[in-house]
A and B are shown apart, each in its own frame.
Chain A
Amino acid sequence: MTIEERLISVVDDDESMRESLPDLLRMLGFDVQAFSSANEFLQSPWIKKTECLILDVAMPRVSGPELHRELNRRGEVIPVVFITAQRDERSRGPLINQGAVECLFKPFSGDELRDALRLVFK
């Protein structure tokens, strides 16, 4: 492959999501790394190469929004798409205000995901 593929990192404590989402993203033409926790991602060498972060909201220890704030604090400007199983419209606003590109409610369709990624890589 001559053009280096764009790297999307997925951080989710749910295993089925860590298995299924990378496959779908690869089929959509992206390079993917999956992480089971915020700390795993923070300690990985992939931060600098990550062009989009798909981030679960409710995770044990460090939550998605906390990781987002930490990245902002470190000056790592990575577009974030939040994903959450808690279907609550009220939680969406604050996440978008915090600088997230989109917030998808699980289960989301392939089209919803594509629309969100189009916002990131426009």
Chain B
Amino acid sequence: MFSPAPAAVSDSDGLRKCVNDLITLITLPFIWADGDLSQIGNTVLNVLRAMLDVDFLFLRLIAAGGESLELTRLSLFEGTLRADQIAKALDASLGNFTEWPRTAQIHLGALTMFITPAPVGLHGVMGVLVAGSREENFPTQEERLILNVAANQVAMAAQEAARLLEQKNLTAVLDELVAQRTAELQSTNEALLREIAERKLAEESRDKFRSELSHVTRVMSLGTMAASIAHEVNQPLSGIITNANTSQLMLSASPPDIVGALETARRTIRDGNRAAAIVDRLSALFKKRSVTVEILDLNDAAREVVALSASDLQRNAINLRADFLTNLPLISADKVQLQQVIMNFLRNAVDSIADHNNGQRKIVVRTFLDDDHRVCLTVEDTGGGIETADADRLFEAFHTTKADGMGIGLSVSKYIVESHNGRIWGIRNIGPGATFGFSIPISMTELSNLPIVNPDVEQRNMEEP
């Protein structure tokens, strides 16, 4: 509700009022701190309504994003006209609002309005502030001044609002970037930690595999050595047999080729010597292997060999039972060498069962103490057993009953066991199969040198001050 201006206002009063109004307008930005465009618009229109004797006020603000905000203050037509209707009437009468004249007349219904538009921002790019009155002399210079100052204030506030919004958006973008980068760094960090853990695990398993592998190759070396001896010796043997065949043919020809036969005989001797040299070299290599004597539990040594043979047993569908004496006395021995003997026993047992289909496929590995207090290990199988004729020759080198055997395993096993002051044997079972075993004396001197740990004694010592 606009109060009509007093009929007579002295110039000095008018000037004083105008200055007061201007100061009010200039202080407006202090309450627009948060850059809300609709708050800016509403505040400026409320202030102007109190200052100016006008019939309507119209403000159009165009935000940075292109959206426009339209606000109206009416006296005469309150409740009958809306902001968008006035905007339409203004646009229809005046054309593009950026080109509006400084003053104009428009018709709203039957009324003629004298209006004055004040552009917001340069050339009104940010909007327009319009005041309208039925008074013909509207606007006065003071009213125009106040409108223009108000429009400028709105422009500055809108600019500030846009800047704040941009800043806020920028902050949000930056925050997002920081959050994103933080997340990236964190996931990189996690991946690194994971990789370190994986690498450590891989290294550990590699080290474990290496030490297992070296152990396996040492235990397996009997078989490997037999194969390499076979290969090396077979080459010159082949020459020997071929040469002998040739000499035979040369001597039985008519007339006999004596010169040729002598030459092949010479080669036969040379190849024979070569074979002997290879055997010497290989046995020297075998003797050179260092013997490592340690105090050991034969149960542990046997358990490892059984584990190594697991796949061999499984492949041949053989059931193995370990019957180990608990608290078996310790012995001093070369663990790898004894494991080679056990491995050899197991291999022979598996081969014997595989070659002999009698239904039962069972191996029993036993450890026990004999009457002479020797630590014993036996491998009992359900295979083909031992021929009585073979019994005495079992442990002779190159004696074999296998189609592809070398006759080396048991002779080397005998050598190993005897170098431990032990005994080795093989007997035919009363049932099917055979049992091979060895016994090793408990070395009293070695054992007495061991530090004896008595838990009771240790306990007492700890309680003493």
User: Given A27-B246, A27-B249, A17–B235 Cβ distance below 8 Å?
Assistant: yes
Which residues of B lie under 8 Å from residue A113 when comparing CB positions?
A: 245
Q: Given the complex of chains A and B, what is the CA–CA distance between A22 and B231 in angstroms? A: 22
Which residues of A lie under 8 Å from residue B230 when comparing CB positions?
A: 85-87
Give the A interface residue count (CB, 8 A): 22
* CB-CB nearest 4 A-B residue pairs: A16-B239, A110-B245, A106-B238, A85-B234
Do B238 and A108 have beta carbons less than 8 Å apart? yes
Digitize B372-407: 1 where CB-to-A-CB distance is under 8 Å, 0 elsewhere: 000000000000000000000000000000001000
Is A62 interfacial (CB 8 A cutoff)? no
Which residues of A lie under 8 Å from residue B267 when comparing CB positions?
A: 16, 19-20
Question: Among the listed A24, A87, A105, which residue makes an inter-chain contact with B245, where contact means beta carbons less than 8 Å apart?
Answer: A24
Question: Among the listed A23, A85, A89, A108, which residue makes an inter-chain contact with B264, where contact means beta carbons less than 8 Å apart?
Answer: A23
Which residues of A lie under 8 Å from residue B253 when comparing CB positions?
A: 27
Is A2 interfacial (CB 8 A cutoff)? no
Chain A-chain B contacts (Cβ-Cβ < 8 Å), number: 76
Which residues of B lie under 8 Å from residue A21 when comparing CB positions?
A: 242
User: Given A23-B264, A85-B230, A108–B241 Cβ distance below 8 Å?
Assistant: yes
B residues lining the A interface (CB < 8 Å): 227, 230-232, 234-243, 245-246, 248-250, 253, 260, 264, 267, 270-271, 274, 404
Do A107 and B241 have beta carbons less than 8 Å apart? yes
Q: Given the complex of chains A and B, what is the CA–CA distance between A106 and B237 in angstroms? A: 8
Which residues of A lie under 8 Å from residue B249 when comparing CB positions?
A: 24, 27-28, 110
Do A23 and B260 have beta carbons less than 8 Å apart? yes
Which residues of B lie under 8 Å from residue A20 when comparing CB positions?
A: 238-239, 242-243, 246, 264, 267, 271
Is A97 interfacial (CB 8 A cutoff)? no
Is A109 interfacial (CB 8 A cutoff)? yes
User: Given A19-B267, A89-B404, A24–B242 Cβ distance below 8 Å?
Assistant: yes
Do B240 and A107 have beta carbons less than 8 Å apart? yes
The residue on B at minimum CB distance from A105 is B234
Do B234 and A17 have beta carbons less than 8 Å apart? no
A77-122: which have CB < 8 Å to B? 83, 85-87, 89, 105-110, 113
User: Given A20-B242, A109-B245, A27–B250 Cβ distance below 8 Å?
Assistant: yes
Q: Given the complex of chains A and B, what is the CA–CA distance between A108 and B248 in angstroms? A: 15
Do B240 and A23 have beta carbons less than 8 Å apart? no
A and B contact pairs by CB, cutoff 8 A, 27 listed:
A14-B238, A14-B239, A16-B236, A16-B270, A16-B271, A17-B238, A17-B239, A20-B242, A20-B264, A20-B271, A21-B242, A23-B246, A23-B260, A24-B249, A27-B249, A27-B250, A27-B253, A85-B231, A85-B235, A85-B238, A86-B230, A87-B234, A87-B404, A106-B235, A107-B234, A108-B238, A110-B248
The residue on A at minimum CB distance from B260 is A23
Which residues of B lie under 8 Å from residue A14 when comparing CB positions?
A: 235, 238-239
Which of A16, A83, A110 has the largest count of B CB atoms less than 10 A from its CB? A16
The residue on B at minimum CB distance from A110 is B245
Do B404 and A107 have beta carbons less than 8 Å apart? no
The residue on A at minimum CB distance from B250 is A27
Which residues of A lie under 8 Å from residue B271 when comparing CB positions?
A: 16, 20
Which residues of B lie under 8 Å from residue A17 when comparing CB positions?
A: 235, 238-239, 242
What 8 new A-B contacts, CB under 8 Å, besides A20-B238, A20-B267, A87-B234? A17-B238, A20-B271, A24-B249, A85-B238, A107-B234, A107-B240, A110-B241, A110-B248
Which residues of B lie under 8 Å from residue A89 when comparing CB positions?
A: 404
Q: Measured between C-beta atoms, what is the minimum distance from A105 to chain B in Å? A: 8
Do B241 and A109 have beta carbons less than 8 Å apart? yes
Which residues of B lie under 8 Å from residue A110 when comparing CB positions?
A: 241-242, 245, 248-249
Q: Given the complex of chains A and B, what is the CA–CA distance between A113 and B270 in angstroms? A: 22
A1-42: which have CB < 8 Å to B? 14, 16-17, 19-21, 23-24, 27-28
Q: Measured between C-beta atoms, what is the minimum distance from B334 to chain A in Å? A: 30
Q: Measured between C-beta atoms, what is the minimum distance from A30 to chain B in Å? A: 12
Question: Among the listed A23, A28, A106, A109, which residue makes an inter-chain contact with B234, where contact means beta carbons less than 8 Å apart?
Answer: A106
Q: Given the complex of chains A and B, what is the CA–CA distance between A109 and B264 in angstroms? A: 16
Q: Given the complex of chains A and B, what is the CA–CA distance between A28 and B250 in angstroms? A: 10
User: Given A20-B264, A23-B264, A24-B249, A86–B231 Cβ distance below 8 Å?
Assistant: yes
Q: Measured between C-beta atoms, what is the minimum distance from A118 to chain B in Å? A: 16
Q: Measured between C-beta atoms, what is the minimum distance from B248 to chain A in Å? A: 8
Which residues of A lie under 8 Å from residue B248 when comparing CB positions?
A: 110
Q: Given the complex of chains A and B, what is the CA–CA distance between A24 and B231 in angstroms? A: 22
Q: Measured between C-beta atoms, what is the minimum distance from B424 to chain A in Å? A: 27
